[in-house]
Structure formats: C-alpha cells, structure tokens
Chains A and B, each alone.
Chain A
Amino acid sequence: MLRINLLLLLAVLASALYLVQTQYASRRLFTELDQAVTKGHQLETERERLQVEQRAQSAPGRIEQLAREQGLQAVTPAITAYVPDNRGVGEH
C-alpha cells in the first residue's frame, strides 16, 4: 500500500513539473508567434505603403511633367502605325 502511494506521489510530482515546463514552453512559443504575426502585419502595411508610393511615382500627372521636361511629344494617330490584332480575342 505504502509503495503504491509513494509511486503515485512521485508520478504526481513528475507530472506537476512537466506541466510547469510545458506551460513555460507554450508561453514562449506564444510570444514568438505573436511577434511573427506583428511582423507580418508590419510587412503588410509596408507593402501597402510602397504600393501607394509606386503609384504616386507613376501617376499620369508626374509622367506628363517628366515627358514635358524631356521634350517628348504626345502620340497622335498621324504618327501611329496600326496593326491588326490577329489573335482574334477582341479589342485590346
């Protein structure tokens, strides 16, 4: 009887220690996950910011201004060669 009790006591102690250990690991991993998620979010907003930046750099107003500075001229039908679209998938 006593031996079984001792065995059970040891088992309880072991399980308790293991619980502490897992809890610790779980928190550590959770923090890591949380940091990764935050990082992901940051990268996402950074991407968005860069996309907007890219769009602002290629906005028609800016292109027009740069073209003017370089002395480029606007396209007119008189200086355009039209070739038929043979792919047959409608207008492009």
Chain B
Amino acid sequence: MRSVTYGTSPLLAHKTQLWRSRLVMMLVACGFLGLAGRAAYVQLIGNDFFLRQGEVRFARTIELAANRGRILDRNGLILASSVPAASIWAIPEDIDIDDAEIAAKLPQLAKLMDMPLAQLRQRLDSDKSFVWLKRQLDWDVGLQIKALGVKGIHQTREYKRQYPEGEAVAHVVGFTNVEDKGQEGMELAFEKDLAGQAGSRRVIKDRLGRVVEGVGEEIPPIDGRDIQLSIDSKIQFFAYQKIKEQVIAHKALGGSVVVMDAHTGELLALANYPSFDPSNRKRLTGEQLRNRAITDVFEPGSTVKPITVALGLETGKFKPGTLIDTTPGRVTVTGSTISDTHNYGVLTVEGVIQKSSNVGVTKISQQLTAQQMWETFSAVGYGQRPQLAFPGAASGRLRPYKSWRPIEQATMSYGYGLSASLLQMARSYTVFSNDGRVIPASILKLEQPPAGVPIFSVKTANAVRQMLALATGPGGTGQRAQTQGYSVGGKSGTARKQVGKGYAVGKYRAWFTGLAPIEEPRLIVAVMVDEPSNGTFYGGTVAAPVFSTVVQQSLRVLGVTPDMAVQPQIVANPIEESL
C-alpha cells in the first residue's frame, strides 16, 4: 500500500505510517467480526434462551376463572348462583386524606361502602401499599364508586353467591365463604362439581397492558356443573312458613318439616326453623345453622307404632280386626309398667293405631321376636345412615337385638329406646305408599323412580294405610291433620325429651308423620316441633296442624285433584250500598 498525500497543508503533509492505518483497519474488521459472531450466537446458538427471555418480559399468563355452577330447584328455578361483585381496595400511600378534594369525596365513599367514615379514614391513614376496604359489594355500587374517581382507590372483580330464596331454603343449599368455596349444605356436598376448573392462557401484552397476541395454547376453563335438587321452591316456602309460624305460636325451641314424594323418595321440601339469611351471616349460632331434620336424632315415640303393627300383620299373627284387650290401661313387663292415657278396654288392631295405645302395641310386640323387630326397623332405615348426599346426615341409634331386654323390646315397639331423624321417619313411611317397598330418600332430582326394597306385602301396606286414615278420623289422635278436599292418614307422636340419663319433666317433642291422599299417596309429610311450651304439647295438636296446611298447599302446587267432596264457597267482596 502506498502512503497517501493529503492536500497541501503542511500539517497534513505528514506521512501516515503504514502500520497505523493497517491497525485501524484490523480493529474495524475485528469489530465487525465480533458483531457477526454475536449475531450468530444470538440468532443461532443461544436462540432458545433469548426467545424465552424476551417472552418473559412481555408475555403474561392470564388465569381464566371458571364459573361456579348454579343450584337449581326441581323446576329449574335458581336457588344459588354467582354474580359479579366489586371488591374495593386502596393503596393508602397514594392517598393524601388531608387533600381537600379527596376529603370531600370520602363521606360519600364511606356511605357507598356502608362503613363509618372514621373507620375509612383510619384505614387510609397509613403508608401500606395495599388494603382491602370492602369485599363483594354489589356490582352497581362498584360502578358508583368508580364514578367517584378517588385516586388510589381501586376495585377488583370477584364473584358473590346470591341466594334469591333466602332463609326458606338456607339449610338445604348451604353457603360459600368469601373465596367462593362451599361451607355448608349442598354447596359443600357438591363442592367439586360446582367449582369447575380454572383455565389459563399465555398472551403478549403491550406497554399499556393491552393483550395484543396469544401465544402457545389456551386451556379453556371448565365451568362448574349445575346441580338440580329435588326441592320444589314453592312447597319449600310453604313448609318453612308454616313451621316458623307454629314454632313461634307454641313458643317452641325449633321445628322441622320434611315433604317427600311418596313414590320416588325425592325430597320436595326440607325446612327448619330457626333459620338464617345466607347472604348475611353475621352472629350465626349453631341453633340456626343446623339442619335439624337431617342431623338431629330423637326418640320418635308413637310415630313408630305403624311399623310395629305392620310387622304384626305381616307375620300373620294379627289381622286388622284382631281383638286386643288393653284393660286396665296398664301392662307390666318384667317389673316395669307401661300405661295408656286412658283405659281403652278391648281394641282391634286398627283401634290400637287409632287410639295410639301403648299397651296394645306392647301386646303385639310380645308376639314378635327381637330379631324380627330389629330386622324390620333396620330395613326401613332406623339406625342406618341415610344414603343421602348431604353432609352430616345422622344414622340414629338402634342397638343390636341380642342385647335387647324384654322391657326394651316393648318400649321400642312404641318408639322409645331407639332414635331417628325426621328424615328417617319420613323415609320409613314409604313402605306404606309403595305397596310395602321402602325407597331411599334423595335430595337430587331423579330421572326415574328407584325400585325399592320389599319389606311388607301389598295387603299389609294397604291395611296400615287404612289404620292411618282412621287415626286422623273421628276418635283418632290426629284429627287436626285433616285438610280440605284431600284424604289424609298419619300418626301423631308425643315423645318425652331425654335429658342426660332420664326423661325431663314437661319437655316434649311433638311429631306427626303421614301420607296424602291416602288411597293413592303422592306425598309423605313429617313434622317435628321441639319443646312446644305454650300450654299444649301433643303431636296431634301442635304438629298435625302443620301437616294439614303443608299437605293442602303442596297437593295444590302439584296439581292433584281433590279426592274428597268439598262444599263450594262463594267469595264476594262487600260492596257499599248506595243510599
């Protein structure tokens, strides 16, 4: 290479040394080589790593929340559903509560959130970077808060469970917590089905947080399944209203009603009082929360008698007309005396049920073996855990027959010494409505009725139904169970409450379990009132009237034509006469 001559300036006339220009050229060439090498490394060798790093900086995984399934009644009406709710949070360090503009808006904000102003100010007066102000407010309220536009106050969309039927069906449906997880009732029992599965997707977000592109595959969320219950919300409401009125009127501790479809075992209503409002669960007590009809067991008293009598008929040792001498209204079994309220003299088997004679039933049970009784009682469900998809369903107590003493066999024949829940009592009466077959109870709507297990013959079942009709007829203990237009049949019970080891004085449980219409039963209704203490405490006076109204309303809702003649009534509004 030749040296270069630059112009004529003496300064430039200096002759550049050859090695220097070579060096510069080498350095520039090295620079380019380096760049090429780096490019090759980034694009070819380390490509995966850089792609990943890039993605981390702008790709985000968004969780796609699954909707919680709804709980529906048998007609598809909503009993529980999730609706969007606004949860309000704040960044206290961003908020200057002494700022005039903000201070002016705070009272309004406090009012919208239903929170004392002082409390709100206290929450905001800190240098925390996050604080929940109020969770799960109504969506509309959230929009109003957004419209206020207080700086530093933000909101997140959450879901809130709504229970349109409120307290009437609270025990069955249950409720969820603030995280939308089932805590009680069906919400808990079917948590897995209701919850569904959250999905996710990878997206690329731009500087402003907008989604501009989806990357990779999207896992769609699986929404929770809807659960359809066997409950009919109208029947449920009537049942709840009636038991509530009766519990209040008789100053009782509580009460329950079970309404069951006589052929399918589906629970049309399951109501308890006291109840609670599922959307406002502050200061709840166990008394309110408990689903008594399912979780509480008691001695059922006389309501068990029809089962004992049915067994007597089934063995062939008794006929409905067989005479049993109950004089003098007392009987002594191994030293203990069992007595009736009156001396009924000689009764037929039908009369024993009609008058609810303890002596009569005891005499029937003395012709039966303990094993026979135990087998029948177990078969109709006493002492057995109900196969019901409900948390905490109690099994009650029925001791093995080998340990029964003669007096226990006698008392069990009329409902003392064993315990059952109201649901179990209702279910055991399905033998009388299904030609002697017992069917399982169900809280879910069934596609087809279950087959049932035969316990008694058709003849026995029909005979006992007639006796139950007599018991609500003239001279029976359950006359107040009668209802306009429909034939009914049922058995009342008044059981003394067990407290500790003995029976409490003046504390009773009033029961009534029955069927309607009696010839072709559609419903089984069981009623229990705990400790009625307003003068009367008999099953026939406290529980039977509830049975009567519930049957009346339920059969009307189901569209059953009355099977008894009704005296038509003319309704006329009084019109003011003109002078």
Contacts and interface: CB of A to CB of B under 8 A. Distances in A.
Interface stretch (A4-12, A14-22, A52-60): A52-60
A61 interface: yes
Contacts of A73: 571
Residues of A contacting B: mostly:
helix
Contact of B166 (A49, A59, A78): A59
A52 B77 CA distance: 9
B139 A49 contact: yes
B280 interface: no
Interface string A52-92: 10011001110010000000011111110010000000011
Interface string A23-66: 00011001100100000000001001101100110011100100
Contacts, number: 77
Contacts of B162: 52, 56
A75 B549 CA distance: 12
Interface string B152-190: 000000000010111010000000000000000000000
Given A60-B234, A61-B166, A51 B569 contact: no
Contact of B556 (A55, A60, A64, A75): A75
Interface of B: 67, 77-78, 81-84, 139, 162, 164-166, 168, 210-214, 233-234, 237-238, 241, 484-486, 552-553, 556, 559-562, 566-569, 571
B569 A78 contact: yes
A40 to B, nearest CB: 13
A82 B78 contact: no
A61 B169 CA distance: 11
Contact of B484 (A30, A56, A77): A77
| Residue among A31, A51, A73, A77 with max Cβ neighbours from chain B (10 Å) | A77
A79 B568 contact: yes
B562 to A, nearest CB: 5
A45 B552 CA distance: 39
A61 to B, nearest CB: 6
A45 B484 CA distance: 46
Contacts of B166: 59, 61
A61 B233 CA distance: 10
Contacts of A60: 165, 168, 233-234, 237-238
A55 to B, nearest CB: 4
A52 B82 CA distance: 9
Contacts of B83: 45, 48-49, 52
Interface size class of A (residues with CB under 8 A): 20 to 34
Contacts of A27: 212-213
Contacts of B559: 91-92
A46 B484 CA distance: 45
A61 B237 contact: yes
Nearest to A30: B213
A45 B562 CA distance: 44
25 contacts: A27-B213, A31-B212, A48-B82, A49-B83, A49-B84, A52-B83, A52-B164, A55-B77, A55-B164, A56-B164, A59-B165, A59-B166, A60-B168, A61-B165, A61-B241, A74-B553, A75-B556, A76-B569, A77-B485, A77-B556, A78-B484, A78-B485, A82-B561, A82-B562, A91-B560
Nearest to B558: A91
A26 to B, nearest CB: 8
Contacts of B164: 52, 55-56, 59
A34 B561 CA distance: 56
B211 A31 contact: yes
Contacts of B237: 59-61, 64
A77 B563 CA distance: 11
Given A59-B164, A91-B559, A30 B212 contact: yes
A87 to B, nearest CB: 13
A37 to B, nearest CB: 10
B236 to A, nearest CB: 8
Q: Which 3 A-B pairs have the closest CB atoms?
A: A77-B485, A60-B237, A56-B164
